[in-house]
Amino acid sequence: MTDAVAAAPHDTSPLDARLKSVLRIMPAPVGIVTSFDTDSGEPVGLAMSALMPVCLDPPSMAICVNRSGSAHAAMMRAGRFCINLLHSRQDGHMAPFADPAARAARFTQDDWRQHVHAVHHGVWYIEGAPAAIFCTIREHISYGTHDLLLGEVDDLITTASEEIVGWANGALYRPAPLG
């Protein structure tokens, strides 16, 4: 075999650091996950790439939330959340949710709405987003610093847009077909 590639030397840095560097380059959908504080009625949210479909029967999604995060306790009390997938013209929504210093700018854009569905009344979503996926928490699993929340999809608001924003290499990107 003349085109053999030499094996890279084994990286001896800590496993969590090596995994973080791999996860950084691994493309993933990104969205803003929202809920509300049942005590104050105020919206809460966080930027997230740890989201995924679980199954279609019942329709369900999973998210992974750090228990020390500012939205975790309110989201657990509310028992519901919304995954807002974004298109590229909505990229300005990300910074206030990804940067704690920009927290005051959360929910200030004029396209934020409160859902009126009986189950999800009070949960905020972005009008015009490619998808707003409303879920009720059915299970949660604690592991390490995070809770994996399994949510049954109760409602879905979609647009005709097939474009969503993703996350890779520390930046937002637009996934595109290879061919």
- The CATH number that applies at residue 156 is 2.30.110.10
| pTM of this structure | 0.86
Cα distance between residue 75 and residue 71, in whole Å: 6
DSSP per-residue codes, 125-178: EETT-SEEEEEEEEEEEEETTEEEEEEEEEEEEE-S-----EEETTEEE-----
In a domain, 4, yes or no: no
In a domain, 57, yes or no: yes
DSSP element (H, E) containing 73: helix 72-78
In a domain, 2, yes or no: no
Domain total in the chain: 1
pLDDT at 5: 53
In a domain, 153, yes or no: yes
Q: What is the pLDDT of residues 127-171, one digit of tens each?
A: 999 999 999 999 999 999 999 999 999 999 999 788 888 888 777
In a domain, 6, yes or no: no
CA distances in angstroms from 47 to 13, 105, 133, listed in the order given: 28, 13, 15
In a domain, 163, yes or no: yes
Question: Range of 68's domain?
Answer: 29-173
Mean pLDDT score of the chain: 88
Q: What is the pLDDT of residues 86-110, one digit of tens each?
A: 988 888 899 899 888 898 999 999 9
